[in-house]
Structure 1
């Protein structure tokens, strides 16, 4: 981590893969991550924590079992703990995530999309 300003555009330029969050800052016991997403993720939940999605570029849909939440740049949504959800994007989205340190991106589902979070 650094004590300088974090340039998110510069950080996004360091990777191309989708669904692989990167750690850009830590505040107390929370991770600030950035991620590029495209296509469908996996249905999952986080039993012990809420999860914040802030869209920076593109359009992200957070599918819930009873409705969809569509986010555009500058909009955020907090998925409450224990709520099953599935993010999806028809084209590439850049987003910021805020969640407690150590949260696994695939929650209770696991699988091939589970990412090891790297600092960039």
Structure 2
């Protein structure tokens, strides 16, 4: 059972809005992602989504008010809640969600990441 070094894993990629699986926990995937700019408004009807900021500042737009996170802060977007992340500058974050969740949820489009993109050893 290898130890996951978050900094080492983040150094392995540079693409934005394309989460990489670094660990699995039961039926969940632990993903690292680099963010920059604005994403798309979307929902995940069947699951909550956890954002944990590692570096930078991330704003998660919600229809009833925004949430801004800095390093070491996390926020859980409840299932079915429409949201749109915005990264002002470069942001590194961890996502925790059930295996197979599509990053763009119900929105689809060009920012939909490839499934099963993994950095597992």
TM-score tier (shorter): over 0.9
Q: Over the residues paired in the alignment, what is the CA RMSD in angstroms? A: 0.5
Q: Deviations over 1:35-55 (max 9, x none)?
A: 000000000000000000000
State the Cα distance separating 1:57 from its structure 2 match.
0.4
Alignment match of 2:113 (pick from 107, 111, 115): 115
Summarize deviations over 1:19-38 as a string: whole Å, max 9, x none. Answer: 00000000000000000000
In 1, the alpha carbon distance for the partners of 2:101 and 2:65 equals 24
Unpaired segments of 5 or more residues in structure 1?
none
Structure 2 CA distance, aligned partners of 1:38 and 1:20?
Answer: 11
1:52 is matched with which residue?
A: 50
TM-score normalised by the chain length of structure 2? 0.96
Normalising by the residue count of structure 1, what TM-score does the alignment of the two structures yield? Answer: 0.97
User: Number of aligned pairs?
Assistant: 118
Where structure 2 has 5 or more consecutive residues not aligned to the other structure, the ranges are none
| Runs of 4+, deviation exceeding 4 Å | none
| 1:85 counterpart (71, 83, 86) | 83
Within 5 Å, which residues of 2 pair with 1:28-43? Answer: 28-43=26-41
- Which of residues 51, 63, 66 in structure 2 aligns to 1:65? 63
Separation in structure 2 between the aligned mates of residue 27 and residue 77 of structure 1, nearest angstrom: 19
Query: Shift of the alpha carbon at 1:100?
Result: 0.3
What SS does structure 2 have at the residue aligned with 1:119?
Answer: coil
